[in-house]
Structure 1
Amino acid sequence: MSVCHNVMNISCVGSNWSSDVRASLYSLMVLIILTTLVGNLMVVISISHFKQLHTPTNCLLRSMATVDFLLGCLVMPYSMVRSVEHYWYFGEIFCKIHTSTDIMLSSASIFHLSFISIDRYYAVCDPLRYKARMSLLVIFVMIFISWSVPAVFAFGMIFLELNFKGAEEIYYKHIHCRGGCTVFFSKITGVLVFMISFYIPGSVMLCVYCRIYFIAKEQAKSIKGTNPKLQTGLEVKNGILQSKERKAATTLGLLLGVFLICWCPFFVSTVMDPFLNYLVPLTLNEALIWFGYLNSTLNPMVYAFFYPWFRKALKTILIGKIFRKDSSRCKIFLDSNP
């Protein structure tokens, strides 16, 4: 059924910020974009180039870094112009493509974080059966789900205009304008996006982190309660395992914290806004979106801080050793598991 709306030709009101404010915003956003691109590109190059890093876990890390790189390359630059100018210069069809890609890549990044937490859970809590449980095939299935489910969900919802379902009149009368590209959700789709893209993967990450944390504490208590004559031997035997447990718990905790800090405000706003009659200001909504983008910017920094193999690979790339013959066989770490 075709519906005609009298307000569809009304132009959106552009930004009234001064040139200094716009220049500052553009500078900040360009810095975020470049940091996102460089950081995630380094992760992709490191894992792809060095053969010692060709592990199932790192395939998952590389896939997530690819998602974050594409977010910085394909989505953030256009979002930057929209956020600063409060106007969309790139046409209605490209608006749908941009919005779909934005939702897809943001959700895919979150899905990867969730699957990485599951991988680390089995590595720490069931190390003897880890290789059997987390085979290359299982990792590829995780990667496929992380890409395909957000893609079908995002493009299907936006191009079929399911995000307007139940709120068409509100959107066309009060939100829609020529030159606008607003990410709009009805009550139903707002809750659906919140559940699929944030609550479910976030809950998985939280549960896994808590489980690893308590297992690490139980291990430490069991070592302390051991017979003093046997304690030294057990400490030596379990030292590496405990170190990995602590590192996994700390890394996952930081990833979870960064994820929650960056994305929680946006998704809470998204799910609440339809129930508040869309009172969230455009400027605030754009700020929350960029706060979410920061998750993709900060992920490589977490790797650089906690993973020695990434720091060594990064150093090798930056000083040009990567161009030497057989550099792909360079020893990045001594332990068999990075």
Structure 2
Amino acid sequence: MENNTSYSVLLPERVSSWYIVLTSLAMIILAILTVAGNIFVIHAVFTNRALRIVPNFFIVSLAVADLLVAILVMPFHISTNITGAWIYGGVLCQIWLTSDVFLCTASILNLCIIALDRYWAIHDPIRYAQKRTVKRVLVMIAISWTLSGMISIPPVFGWGDKDDDSLYDDDVKTCTLSSDKGYVLYSACGSFYIPLAVMSFVYIHIFIATKRRLRERTKAAKKTKLAMRNIVNNKDGNANKKRNNSDSTNDDHDERNEDIVEEPSNHCNTTSSESANNVCNGSANVALTTTDKKKRKKTRGKRQIDSAKMEFEDNARHLRPRVSINNFFEEKQRISLSKERKAARTLAIIMVTFVLCWIPFFLMYLILPFCDSCTYPGTKVEALFVWLGYVNSTLNPIIYTVFNMEFRKAFQRITAKCRGNDSGRIALTRTCV
């Protein structure tokens, strides 16, 4: 969106050569970054199979609009900043202003339909997934570009291009957008304020839905984790009960064996009136029984030690799955919550960036024609507001792609090829997060 103030006032304000050099250099760098970033996005989508999905058509449309802003609009601003005047004549002035309004509006409206697409995808994901066809997406993109044309073309047919308010002034070499109040209100609302209202409504609802789903997933994850702990504890309790029953059965069996062995000793004592041979045999049986009892006590103690070892190992085996299950659900919960927070953070970045980049210019653009007592802020402030809006075209490919793993991989692959590494695998494994 172009401003309505002449750049020819740069010289009367006695702008220093250092200011012209630094601002022009900054504009050139910004234009180059905008071209490079949006070319990367378009190239990544068309060359990467994983990115050739229907929702990314909106990203490509946005990248095309921002790329054309950098190619068709920014260079003339840079030239005007350097020379201090419009030197390309009236016809090119009209084409440039129309292109400026058309492409900046297309960029903003593409941001708007991306917001609507995300809102529908979250609000009714099942049915909208069936409706989100290539035809539907292309129709939405066509509507955004058509609306942009309807907002930018009226001055070409004479709206606001009157003798006292001409777009191009050959005497002072200025090329300015019409300050006709009707057109200013029409273009400002269509290019910014209506899309801003739609995006605000949509992203607020998306943010609320994201926060609500975040809380629901947190509660569900806690319930699942508690249920798994109860299941594991019940299994451990049943296993311990079985082991205790088994140990008590073994102890009873040992005691019965000892009682059976002691019976010959008592029988030998009751037969003391028999022959000496029987007495000796009875004494020998008593001694043998005592030895067996000692051996059985040692065996019983060893068995208890072995049982304790087995119980420890069994507890360790049960503990490892429990730790693994808990870690699994904790990790799953952490990843899910991280994704939700990242989505909410991305929405906030998109909205804040859009508002900060465009609202200074559109406030100035709308207020000045209707406020007779308002003073013009000066060409430096105006140029800052205009280029701040263009910064949004530079940041769009970063915001909408850097948070996507597939886009990051595609960018790494492209840069790897530029460095001569055809496969790009080394760079991917080293730098991709």
- The TM-score bracket by the shorter chain reads 0.7 to 0.9
Residue 295 of structure 2 corresponds to none
Which residue of the other structure, out of 206, 211, 228, is the alignment partner of 1:212? 206
Which residue of the other structure, out of 98, 101, 116, is the alignment partner of 2:96? 98
Equivalences for 1:287-302 in 2 at 5 Å? 287-302=384-399
Residues in 1 aligned to 2:51 and 2:71: alpha-carbon distance in whole angstroms: 25
For the 8 Å contact 1:219–1:242, the answer to whether it is kept is no
For the 8 Å contact 1:164–1:185, the answer to whether it is kept is no
Residue 34 of structure 2 corresponds to 36
Deviations 1:79-125 (A, max 9, x none): 11223433001111000000000000000000000111111122333
What percentage of residue pairs aligned between the two structures are identical? 30
SS in 1 for 2:137: helix
For the 8 Å contact 1:263–1:292, the answer to whether it is kept is yes
TM-score by length of 2: 0.65
TM-superposed CA distance for 1:158, in Å, is 2.1
- Amino acid paired to 2:189: M
**Structure exhibiting the larger radius of gyration computed from Cα positions:** 2
Equivalences for 1:237-256 in 2 at 5 Å? 244-256=339-351
For the 8 Å contact 1:262–1:295, the answer to whether it is kept is yes
Name the CA shift for 1:129/1:241 in 2 (closer, same or farther; >3 Å).
farther
Deviations 1:135-176 (A, max 9, x none): 21121011111212212321x2221231357xx64x36xx88
Which residue of the other structure, out of 331, 340, 359, is the alignment partner of 1:264? 359
Equivalences for 1:58-69 in 2 at 5 Å? 58-69=56-67
Residues in 2 aligned to 1:260 and 1:111: alpha-carbon distance in whole angstroms: 14
RMSD: 3.0
SS in 2 for 1:56: coil
For the 8 Å contact 1:223–1:235, the answer to whether it is kept is no
Residues in 1 aligned to 2:221 and 2:333: alpha-carbon distance in whole angstroms: 15
For the 8 Å contact 2:108–2:191, the answer to whether it is kept is yes
Residues in 1 aligned to 2:356 and 2:335: alpha-carbon distance in whole angstroms: 31
TM-score by length of 1: 0.82
Residues in 1 aligned to 2:87 and 2:202: alpha-carbon distance in whole angstroms: 43
Deviations 1:164-218 (A, max 9, x none): 57xx64x36xx88441011232222111112111111111111111111111221
For the 8 Å contact 2:9–2:379, the answer to whether it is kept is no
Residue 217 of structure 2 corresponds to 223
Name the CA shift for 1:85/1:244 in 2 (closer, same or farther; >3 Å).
same
Structure 1 residue 137 and structure 2 residue 161: aligned? no
Which residue of the other structure, out of 105, 108, 132, is the alignment partner of 2:106? 108
For the 8 Å contact 1:33–1:76, the answer to whether it is kept is yes
For the 8 Å contact 1:99–1:183, the answer to whether it is kept is yes
Point out where structure 1 has 5 or more consecutive residues left out of the alignment.
Answer: 1-10, 332-338
For the 8 Å contact 2:38–2:397, the answer to whether it is kept is yes
Q: How many pairs does the alignment contain? A: 313
Name the CA shift for 1:183/1:177 in 2 (closer, same or farther; >3 Å).
farther
Structure 1 residue 162 and structure 2 residue 159: aligned? yes
Point out where structure 2 has 5 or more consecutive residues left out of the alignment.
Answer: 1-6, 229-328, 429-433
TM-superposed CA distance for 1:243, in Å, is 5.3
Residues in 2 aligned to 1:241 and 1:139: alpha-carbon distance in whole angstroms: 29
TM-superposed CA distance for 1:226, in Å, is 4.7
Name the CA shift for 1:239/1:284 in 2 (closer, same or farther; >3 Å).
same
